[in-house]
């Protein structure tokens, strides 16, 4: 029997519906349940074939538990090692690399020094920064937001330099990004599950949270939806996320990726609506069952994006195998001479 677990916090509607849907599938060798954690010993965590992670971004203990589980063969969704390393500014850099349009963006040092640092810790940082050059590059209006994290926390709309410096002074030790505003004619939020299941939802980020999935825009063209669909898959394949949302703002017919680092995206029925909720429960169930069926105990069952896989492949190509022994040519050993005893001729 393979178990699928879901690790979650305060949310209830999605985890409960997910567990119920998996168990209703009637598979004799697979069942789902909320994860229960007691003692966590190193290298010992083979209870679950698959774990859907919805909370470890807020609970470091859970993140450590998941890494340990992954090391013993659990397919953790999403990959906890990559999730720990990822952040939004790198996401934008990767999007540029793979040809997905993104707004012009720069990263800024935190307004306040990190704890346990001093002026001498920043001898490599130009002070002051070239603010005019930065503002000329980005332009106004602009948005400022943390380079890591989500939930629309600490996001500022800035109309001019005065707005910027006032808001920047409020950000404390947060590392912020300054980003060009995309004035959009349409906006989409897209679920992507398992690297293949995509749901494109019209979205209005300027509405109150509970009304954002209610958009007054008319139906989008098939050509535009196809482009959005392809960009969503490109991004999620490169990043290696099994469960993600991608937000796209459309300007002059071109979709710009705005936010695509959401490894525990909102799936609460009261915010996404019944139809979208039903879709995400159904396809999360499909994805989890597929992963459980493919999971091989004791092996690496994580998803790694093409960015990491290509890096490993290139490293292997460019690295010459070296024997564990010294590579210096050993002198040839002379073979011992074997003297044959002469046999005396017998006299007749």
CATH of region 2-80, choose from 2.60.40.3080, 3.40.50.20, 1.10.260.40, 3.10.20.30:
3.40.50.20
pLDDT at 149: 75
Rounded-to-integer distance, Cα 278 and Cα 14, Å: 9
Average pLDDT over residues 247-255: 98
CATH number of the domain at 104-116+123-180, please? 3.30.1490.20
pLDDT at 168: 98
Q: pLDDT by residue (tens digit) across 10-31? A: 999 999 999 999 999 999 999 9
Q: What percent of the chain has pLDDT over 90?
A: 84
The 3-state secondary structure of the chain reads CEEEEEECCCCCHHHHHHHHHHHHCCCCCEEEEECCCCCCECCECCCCCEEEECCCCCCHHHHHHHHHHHHCCCEEECCHHHHHHCCHHHHHHHHHHHCCCCCCEEEECCCCCCCCCCHHHHCCCCCCCCHHHHHHHHCCCEEEEECCCCCCCCCEEECCHHHHHHHHCCCCCCCEEEEECCCCCEEEEEEEECCCEEEEEECCCCCCHHHCCCCCCCCCCHHHHHHHHHHHHHHHHHHCCCEEEEEEEEECCEEEEEECCCCCCCCCHHHHCHHHHHHHHHHHHHHHHHHHHHCCCCCCCCCCCHHHHHHHHHHHHHCCCCCCCCCCCCCCCCCCCCCCCCCCCCCC
Sorted by where each begins, the domain ranges of the chain are 2-80, 87-101+183-262, 104-116+123-180
The model's confidence at residue 332, banded by pLDDT at 50, 70 and 90, is low
Burial degree of 90 (CB within 10 A; 0-12, 13-18, 19+): middle
pLDDT at 317: 87
Rounded-to-integer distance, Cα 10 and Cα 12, Å: 6
Specify the residue for token string 């939004």. Answer: 88
Specify the residue for token string 């092996």. Answer: 299
pLDDT at 185: 96
More confident: 70 or 338: 70
Beta-strand pair 30-34/2-7: parallel
Rounded-to-integer distance, Cα 193 and Cα 244, Å: 7
Task: Tell me the torsion sign for CA atoms 161, 166, 172, 178.
Answer: negative
More confident: 222 or 324: 222
pLDDT at 347: 42
Average pLDDT over residues 154-178: 97
The model's confidence at residue 151, banded by pLDDT at 50, 70 and 90, is confident
**296 contacts: CB under 8 Å, gap ≥ 6:** 73
**169 contacts: CB under 8 Å, gap ≥ 6:** 111
Average pLDDT over residues 140-164: 92
Q: Return the structure tokens found at 178.
A: 């300054």
Position 327 pLDDT exceeds 50: no
Position 342 pLDDT exceeds 70: no
Q: Are 134 and 178 in contact (CB under 8 A)?
A: yes
- The angle that helices 274-294 and 13-24 make with each other, rounded to 10 degrees, is 50
Average pLDDT over residues 143-160: 90
Position 251 pLDDT exceeds 70: yes
The model's confidence at residue 345, banded by pLDDT at 50, 70 and 90, is very low
Of the CA atoms within 13 Å of residue 33, those in its CB half-sphere come to 11
pLDDT at 321: 66
Architecture of domain 87-101+183-262: 2-Layer Sandwich (3.30)
């Amino acid at each position: 029997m393979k178990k699928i677990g879901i690790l979650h916090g305060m949310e209830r509607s999605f985890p409960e519906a997910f567990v119920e849907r998996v168990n209703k599938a009637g598979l004799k060798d697979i069942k789902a349940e909320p994860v229960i954690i007691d003692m966590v010993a190193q290298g010992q965590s083979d209870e679950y074939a698959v774990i859907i992670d919805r909370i470890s971004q807020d609970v470091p203990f859970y993140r450590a538990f998941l890494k340990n589980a992954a090391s013993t063969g659990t397919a953790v969704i999403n990959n906890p090692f990559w999730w720990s390393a990822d952040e939004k500014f790198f996401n934008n850099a990767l999007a540029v690399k793979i040809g997905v349009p993104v707004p012009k963006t720069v990263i800024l040092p935190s307004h306040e020094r990190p704890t346990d640092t001093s002026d001498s810790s920043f001898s490599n940082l130009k002070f002051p920064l070239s603010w005019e050059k930065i503002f000329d590059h980005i332009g106004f209006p602009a948005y400022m937001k943390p380079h890591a994290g989500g939930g629309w926390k600490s996001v500022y709309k800035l109309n001019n330099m005065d707005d910027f410096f006032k808001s920047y002074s409020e950000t404390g030790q947060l590392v912020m990004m300054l980003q060009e505003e995309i004035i959009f004619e349409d906006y989409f939020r897209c679920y992507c599950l398992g690297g293949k299941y995509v749901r494109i939802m019209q979205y209005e980020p300027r509405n109150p949270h509970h009304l954002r999935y209610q958009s007054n825009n008319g139906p989008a063209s098939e050509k535009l939806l196809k482009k959005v669909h392809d960009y969503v898959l490109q991004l999620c394949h490169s990043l290696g996320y099994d469960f993600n949302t991608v937000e796209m703002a459309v300007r002059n017919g071109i979709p710009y990726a705005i936010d695509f680092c959401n490894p525990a995206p909102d799936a609460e029925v009261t915010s996404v609506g019944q139809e979208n909720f039903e879709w995400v429960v159904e396809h999360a169930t499909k994805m989890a069952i597929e992963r459980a069926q493919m999971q091989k105990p004791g092996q690496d069952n994580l998803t790694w994006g093409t960015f990491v896989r290509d890096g490993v492949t290139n490293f292997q190509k460019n690295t010459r195998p070296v024997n564990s022994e010294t590579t210096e040519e050993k002198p040839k050993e002379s073979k011992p001479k074997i003297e044959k005893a002469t046999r005396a001729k017998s006299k007749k």
